[in-house]
Every structure is written in C-alpha cells, then in structure tokens.
Amino acid sequence: MASLITCPHCGTRPKEEFSIRGAAAPKRPSPTAKDEAWHRYVYVRDNPKGRYEEYWHHEAGCRRFLVVERDNLTHEVFGVTDAAEFKRGGAAE
Amino acid sequence: MRYSAYSIFKEALSGNRMWKPAWREPQPKPHYDVIIVGGGGHGLATAYYLAKEFGITNVAVLEKGYLGSGNVGRNTTIIRSNYLLEGNNPFYEFSLKLWEGLERDFNYNAMVSQRGILNLFHSDGQRDAHARKGNGMRIHGVDAELLDREQVRRKAPYLNFDHARFPIMGALYQKRAGTVRHDAVAWGYGRGADARGVDLIQHCEVTGIRRENGLVVGVETTRGFIGCNKLALAAAGNTTTVGRMADLELPIETHVLQAFVSEGLKPVVDHVITYGAGHFYISQSDKGGLVFGAEIDFYSSYAQRGNLQTVEHTMEEGVSLIPGLSRAKVLRSWGGVMDMSMDGSPIIDRTPIDNLYLNCGWCYGGFKATPASGFCFAHLIAKNETHHVSRFMRLDRFERGYTIDEAGRGPQPNLH
C-alpha cells in the first residue's frame, strides 16, 4: 500500500492518519427494500482483484470519510474523493 | 514407503540414496469423481480424508503453484480450540483431537507440540470475558484454566508485568494448544492422499468452471479441460476469484496478514502467548526463531506482502510486552492473503449449484482448523450431508441471521 494518501481537504498525508472502513461499492438500499437487497448490501462483496474503491476515514486529520480508489494488487492509488462527492448512482431498489 | 525409526536407520546405512519422492507427479486424467481446487492445507486434508475415511480415491487436487505454497506455508503454526461459541468450539476441538493423533494417522512427523497457549488479560472486564470463554470451553468438555498474575509469571517471567497501559493481571490457559510444523502438514496430507491414489496436480491453474444444465461438468485449466462429477473449492484468499467463475456471490473480502520470524535463539518462549490488547502474539519455533505477528493491514489486498506501518506497530507492541525482544534481530517477514468473512467464521457448505462445494472464509485462523476442515469437507462431498460439528458454518447463515460472530464485531471483515 502507498505510504502517502492525498486527502482532498488536508493535502498529502501519511497513511497512518487514516482508518479503513471497507468497500465503497455496495449501495445502500432504501429502508423499505426487500431483505434480499439488505442482505446483499450488508454481507455480499464483489471483492475484485485490481481496481477497488474503499472508504477511508481521515481520523487524524479532517475526520471526513473519503473514498480511495486504488489497485489492491499493485497498491497504486488512482484518486481520493470526499465520500459526499463520491457518485453513488442513487440507492438500489 | 512407510516412515519409521528403522527406515531412517536403514537409509542412513545406504547413504540416504534410497529415499523416494513423497508423491507422484501425475498427468491429469480426463475425468475425476471429485476435483478439489487448491493444494493447500485444507485441499490436501480434504483429499486425504476423502480417500481414507470415505473411500473416494478417484480425486484430483489442482494447485496453481506448488503444494502448500499458500497460507499453509505462511502461517504462524498455532493450534488451539479456545473458542466460545457453539458454532465454533466443537469444530475446533474436533480439529485439536485430530491434531493429537495426526502424526500416527498419516505416518509423517508434523512436530505437533502441545506447549499451551496463554491469552493475557489486563483489566477486570477482560478477565470476565476470558473467564466466560473458559467456562464456555469447559461446558464443551475442553480444557481451560484461568491463571492469575503470579501463575503467569512462573510460566513466562520475561513478560512486562508492570506495563504502564496494560499491566498483566492473568491469562486464560489452554494446555493442549500448541504449534505444528506447518509445511509438514501439507506434505503429510499430500503424501497420504497420493498413496491412496489421489492425483496431486501442481502448476495447474483453474481458469474457468464449465457448467451444463445447471451442474458443473468440469474445469478449464492451464493444462486443458478436466471433467468431474463434483467440484470442491478450497482456494482461501482466491475464493472470490474462483467462485466468480461459477457466479457465486460470497460474503468475503481478501486482506493481507503479515508474520515475522527472528534469528534463532535458545529456548526462551515456552508457550504460545497472545496479547490481545496490543494485537500481538508470539511463539518460538523448534529451530529457535521467535515467530510473531499482529493484525491484518486493514485495507483490501491481494498482494502477498504487507505495509511497513503494520511492521512498525507489531514491533512496538512486541517490545512493549517483552522488552527483551528489542535485542533480537528480525530475519524475515512475509504476508499471506486471507479470505476474511463477514462474521469472522468459515464456510463449509453446499452452494446454489448442486455439485459444487465450498470451503472458505477462514480469515487468519485456518491453519488450526486444517484437519477438521478437511474431514468435514470430505464428509460433505462424499455424503452430501454436513458433518455435525460444522453444521453452523453455512453459506446462507448471513441471510438467515445466524452469523457466528466470535468477536462480536458485526459485518466488518477487517476487524475480525
């Protein structure tokens, strides 16, 4: 994993300042969605090898949740966006 | 060939030139009754028990690297059954009992050493949690003992008992826990399976799963198509990659876990010691190296190498628990990729495809489970029925609300 993460708010910071929440790809279903949709959201993971979007929390900085897009095999970081700006593409059914 | 003291003596007299390879290197046949994907500990144990206990010998184990090149050759070799939950404890105790008779069973020296494990605690709350776990173990008929500070000191006087943040108050002790020579486990199971007719096919990567009418008919591999009646997956950190070939949707995230070994030292650490408050554990190999590690690196990774941040953290925690460790040199560190499940517990189950069987989600605790995992998986494949000690380890437990969350951390795989 890269040693430096460029936070959109704080600039380039050591990765020790961040804690990791997990996959950013699952989309939160609507509260009235069927159990099956909630099961998939909570438990099922694509777990791809390669390009990966992951929630990182800038715990020792701005304390914003960020989405770090990176390669989980080569550890190359492609980009960091604020989670609020991360395009969710709307809630799943 | 059967190994014995006599065979060692006899071979020594003939200059050790008569030893034969421990297994064959067969060409893949066009069709097998059972194909197991993954020639690691669990895959080889499954093949061994399929042949030995269930009489199914027309079996192939397909391994993309060499036998035992994954986590069975990369772990920190600890065996134990100190689990709390009903879904886990009888399974791991079954495994520990198999470990206890393993070397005689497969005629191979796996150096099983029941040196005991100490799970340290540092507060009243932690002591209560350990007492509860110990009581849970004893209800299941498993040995567990709550030691106070002085009893721990007698066993491990080199620990930092007056740690400023985590003073040691005592430990939960399981005497029958210990360590095993990990590579020998893969070799012993592989040799035993091979001797019973199982084909161990190395450097054969599965690239696709061929299905007809909703059933698996075989696998595409780098050495051509191989047909099968039943397909069993035991691919550890690569479970998702292989499972995707059969459109399986799995509650798995892949993470990297690191481990470390020091230079060889004279015997000093007589037990396995876990320091949960500092995320650190240690034992000493029979060769003298201190073998230790901490937690996973927390981010998703398929790379078999870790991050320096975790190295630094591990060393800090180690030295804070055992100040003398600062004088030892670290020889090697390495990483393995773990199939972290959403509740920290494994899956041994059927899948939506009738003749496809799944063994995964071992997180970083798969080594100790090797014998029971192989036995229960073989039972499932052979009889199409779940073995009673693995009956909670179902794929649909998440959906049905029956997770086995030993740590109580919820669906957060990097925290299990």
Give residue-wise pLDDT tens across range B375-393.
Answer: 999 999 999 999 999 999 9
User: Could you tell me which of B144, B173, B166 has the C-alpha nearest to residue B276?
Assistant: B166
Closest Cα in chain B, distance from residue A53 (Å): 10
Q: Using the predicted structure, report yes or no on whether residue B280 has a pLDDT greater than 90.
A: yes
Report all structural domains of chain A as residue ranges with CATH numbers, in order of start.
4-27+34-88 (3.30.2270.10)
Nearest-CB residue to A23 (from B249, B253, B399):
B253
How would you classify the pairing of strands A65-71 and A51-57?
antiparallel
Q: Using the predicted structure, report yes or no on whether residue A89 has a pLDDT greater than 60.
A: no
Cβ-based interface (< 8 Å): residues of B facing A: 240-241, 249-254, 297-303, 307-309, 342, 398-399, 411-414
Read off the pLDDT of each residue in B25-31 and give the average, rounded to a whole number. Answer: 97
Q: Using the predicted structure, report yes or no on whether residue A29 has a pLDDT greater than 70.
A: yes
Closest Cα in chain B, distance from residue A43 (Å): 5
Q: What is the dihedral of CA B375, B378, B384, B385, to 10 degrees?
A: 0
Q: Using the predicted structure, report yes or no on whether residue A90 has a pLDDT greater than 80.
A: no
pLDDT band (50, 70, 90) for residue B54: very high
Q: What is the dihedral of CA B126, B128, B132, B134, to 10 degrees?
A: 70
Environment class of residue B349 by beta-carbon count within 10 Å: exposed (0-12), middle (13-18) or buried (19+)?
Answer: buried
Separation of alpha carbons B302 and B304, rounded Å: 6
Contact criterion met (CB < 8 Å) for B411 and A44: no
pLDDT of residue B1: 80
Q: Which residues of B touch A20 (CB under 8 A)?
A: 298-299, 414
Q: Which residues of B touch A23 (CB under 8 A)?
A: 253, 300
pLDDT band (50, 70, 90) for residue A86: confident
pLDDT band (50, 70, 90) for residue A1: confident
Read off the pLDDT of each residue in B341-365 and give the average, rounded to a whole number. Answer: 97
Read off the pLDDT of each residue in A43-71 and give the average, rounded to a whole number. Answer: 96
Please, are residues B63 and B201 in contact by the beta-carbon 8 Å criterion? yes
Please, are residues B411 and B94 in contact by the beta-carbon 8 Å criterion? no
CA quadruple B81, B251, B74, B321: dihedral sign: negative
Q: Which residues of B touch A57 (CB under 8 A)?
A: none
Report how far Cα B108 is from the mean position of its chain's Cα atoms.
18
pTM value?
0.96
Q: What is the dihedral of CA B179, B152, B172, B375, to 10 degrees?
A: 10
Separation of alpha carbons B350 and B380, rounded Å: 8
pLDDT of residue A88: 56
Q: Which residues of A touch B399 (CB under 8 A)?
A: 35-36, 39, 43
pLDDT of residue B152: 98
Disruptive mutation site among A4, A38, A47, A49 for chain B (greatest number of B CBs within 10 Å): A47
Token duo for residue B221:
């591999």
Q: Using the predicted structure, report yes or no on whether residue B125 has a pLDDT greater than 70.
A: yes
Element (H or E) spanning B241, and its range? helix B239-244
Chain A residue closest in CA terms to B240? A47
What does the pLDDT look like over B216-275, one tens digit per residue? 999 999 999 999 999 999 999 999 999 999 999 999 999 999 999 999 999 999 999 999
Q: Using the predicted structure, report yes or no on whether residue A2 has a pLDDT greater than 90.
A: no
Nearest-CB residue to A54 (from B297, B299, B302):
B299
pLDDT band (50, 70, 90) for residue A92: very low
Separation of alpha carbons B110 and B44, rounded Å: 15
Separation of alpha carbons B48 and B374, rounded Å: 8
User: Could you tell me which of B218, B260, B246, B346 has the C-alpha nearest to residue B76?
Assistant: B260
Q: Using the predicted structure, report yes or no on whether residue A93 has a pLDDT greater than 50.
A: no
CA quadruple B324, B326, B329, B331: dihedral sign: positive
Read off the pLDDT of each residue in B43-53 and give the average, rounded to a whole number. Answer: 98
